[in-house]
């Protein structure tokens, strides 16, 4: 029982970063109807940059690098989704290409070594469970960001435009909302969040060049588990995925521990709400 609590707690702390990755997935899906497969690659790029440069400058550079990468993806996706050729699958393929590019770029520039930093020597003792203070920082950062996003989405004109373009792109553009610019901003926001998540990952679990697609899958899984339409649900989904991972790692032998979370996501995917878009024949 005690063990179980420990695994759940560790999982939840691990899942915080997935929650950060889940937010851009659900936001992008509800505003543009598309998925950015390169999301995990931004995060790994941020990990690599922050690891190489180090210090606060490194963190800043890492986030900027991720935003820059998402800037490129945004431009590409807008070009791909131009009128007469709105094909989400093509846009997904484009982000897939960029994810491959980034992965190969990270591999050739930063090498194959796993990148991780452990800034704290001492650990907190939570009822016998040793926890790095870093997880506390992670939780605090995530709470701040989520609150900020919530306020932006609910209280500012920008957030209102964003929600309007998500709910009804045609209606929004008829009301003078620059829908395409909003889409672009959504991509940038995704890069920003992925960059922050990347920095947090560097200081907790670490990553290597090949983590990009796995991170995308975790973010995506977190986003779909409770439904795509709210950032808070995505955050809860992230905690959930983290717990599933921690439980599998605790109770199952090696390979299964890695495979089961994927299979859980697959089950969620096949049972989930995303399929209900189907009712409109794929037209979101």
Partner 1 sequence: MLGSIRSRLAPIAVLAILVLLITPVIAGSAFWLDNSVIVAIFSLLALSVGMAYGQAGILSMAPAAFGAIGAFATSIVTARYGVSPLIGLVLALLLPAVLAYPMARAITRLSPLPLSIATLLLSLVLELAIREGGSFTGGYIGISGIPSLWFAESIFAMHVLSWCLVVAVLVLYANLTESAIGRAVKTARHDPLRATADGVNVPALLACYFAISASVAGLAGWLYAHHLTYMGPDSLTMHVSIKIVLMAVIGGASTLLGPILGAAFLTLLTLYLPAAETQGMIFGIVLIFVLLVAPNGVFGTDWKKLLMKRATQKSAAVRTVATGEGAA
| Residue 180 touches partner 1, criterion: CB under 8 A | yes
60, 76, 141, 232: which one binds partner 1 (CB under 8 A): 76
Q: Specify the residue, 103 or 208, whose C-beta has the smaller distance to partner 1.
A: 103
68, 71, 101, 150: which one binds partner 1 (CB under 8 A): 101
| Residue 269 touches partner 1, criterion: CB under 8 A | yes
| Residue 100 touches partner 1, criterion: CB under 8 A | yes
Q: Are 190 and 27 in contact (CB under 8 A)?
A: yes
52, 68, 71, 105: which one binds partner 1 (CB under 8 A): 105
Looking up tokens 């994927």 gives 262
| Residue 251 touches partner 1, criterion: CB under 8 A | no
Q: Tell the smallest beta-carbon distance from residue 203 to partner 1 (Å).
A: 25
Collect all residues with Cβ–Cβ distance below 8 Å to 31 and sequence separation of at least 6.
Answer: 162, 165, 166, 182, 183, 186
| Residue 173 touches partner 1, criterion: CB under 8 A | yes
96, 137, 206, 250: which one binds partner 1 (CB under 8 A): 96
| Residue 162 touches partner 1, criterion: CB under 8 A | no
- Residues in 119-158 that interact with partner 1 by CB under 8 A: none
Q: Are 40 and 21 in contact (CB under 8 A)?
A: yes
Among 73, 56, 46, 35, residue whose Cα is nearest residue 193 = 46
Number of residues binding to partner 1, judged by CB under 8 A = 63
| Residue 282 touches partner 1, criterion: CB under 8 A | yes
Collect all residues with Cβ–Cβ distance below 8 Å to 243 and sequence separation of at least 6.
Answer: 7, 8, 11, 12, 15
Q: Are 21 and 42 in contact (CB under 8 A)?
A: no
53, 60, 185, 277: which one binds partner 1 (CB under 8 A): 277
CA distance 48 to 196: 13
From 9-17, 133-141, 149-157, 167-175, give the range in contact with partner 1 by CB under 8 A. 167-175
From 3-11, 150-158, 200-208, 272-280, give the range in contact with partner 1 by CB under 8 A. 272-280
Collect all residues with Cβ–Cβ distance below 8 Å to 268 and sequence separation of at least 6.
Answer: 221, 224, 225
From 60-68, 127-135, 165-173, 235-243, give the range in contact with partner 1 by CB under 8 A. 165-173
| Residue 99 touches partner 1, criterion: CB under 8 A | yes
Using CB atoms within 10 A of its CB, is residue 170 exposed (0-12), middle (13-18) or buried (19+)? exposed
Collect all residues with Cβ–Cβ distance below 8 Å to 234 and sequence separation of at least 6.
Answer: 19, 22, 23, 25, 26, 222, 223, 226, 228
Task: Give the Å distances, CA to CA, from 278 to 156, 168, 171, 275, 283.
Answer: 32, 17, 22, 6, 8
Q: Specify the residue, 155 or 210, whose C-beta has the smaller distance to partner 1.
A: 210
- Looking at the chain, list the stretches that DSSP marks H as alpha helix, in order from N- to C-terminal side: 2-32, 39-53, 55-80, 88-110, 133-155, 157-167, 169-174, 179-203, 212-225, 231-251, 254-271
| Residue 90 touches partner 1, criterion: CB under 8 A | yes
In the complex, the residues that contact partner 1 under the rule CB under 8 A are 34-35, 37, 76, 79-90, 92-94, 96-105, 107-108, 169-170, 173-174, 178-180, 183, 213-214, 216-217, 220, 254-255, 258-259, 262-263, 265-266, 269-270, 272, 274-275, 277-282
């Amino acid at each position: 029982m005690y063990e179980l609590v420990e695994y759940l707690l560790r999982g939840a702390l691990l899942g915080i970063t997935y929650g950060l990755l889940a937010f851009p997935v659900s936001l992008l899906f509800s505003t543009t109807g598309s998925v950015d497969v390169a999301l995990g690659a931004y995060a790994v790029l941020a990990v690599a940059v922050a690891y190489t440069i180090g210090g606060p400058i490194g963190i800043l550079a890492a986030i900027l690098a991720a935003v820059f990468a998402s800037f490129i993806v945004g431009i590409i996706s807008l070009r791909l989704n131009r009128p007469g050729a709105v094909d989400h699958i093509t846009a997904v393929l484009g982000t897939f290409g960029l994810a491959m590019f980034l992965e190969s770029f990270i591999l050739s520039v930063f090498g194959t070594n796993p990148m991780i930093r452990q800034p704290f020597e001492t650990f907190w003792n939570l009822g016998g469970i040793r926890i790095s203070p870093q997880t506390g920082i992670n939780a605090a950062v995530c709470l701040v960001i989520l609150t900020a996003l919530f306020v932006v989405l609910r209280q500012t004109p920008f957030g209102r435009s964003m929600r309007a373009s998500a709910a009804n792109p045609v209606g929004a553009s008829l009301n003078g909302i620059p829908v395409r610019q909003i889409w672009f901003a959504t991509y940038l926001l995704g890069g920003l969040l992925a960059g922050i998540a990347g920095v947090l990952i560097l200081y907790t679990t670490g990553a290597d060049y090949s983590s990009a697609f796995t991170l995308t899958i975790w973010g995506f899984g977190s986003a779909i588990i409770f439904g795509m339409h709210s950032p808070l649900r995505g955050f809860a989904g992230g905690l959930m995925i983290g717990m599933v991972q921690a439980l599998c790692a605790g109770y199952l032998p090696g390979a299964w521990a890695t495979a089961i979370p994927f299979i859980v996501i697959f089950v969620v995917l096949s049972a989930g709400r995303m399929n209900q878009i189907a009712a409109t024949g794929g037209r979101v």
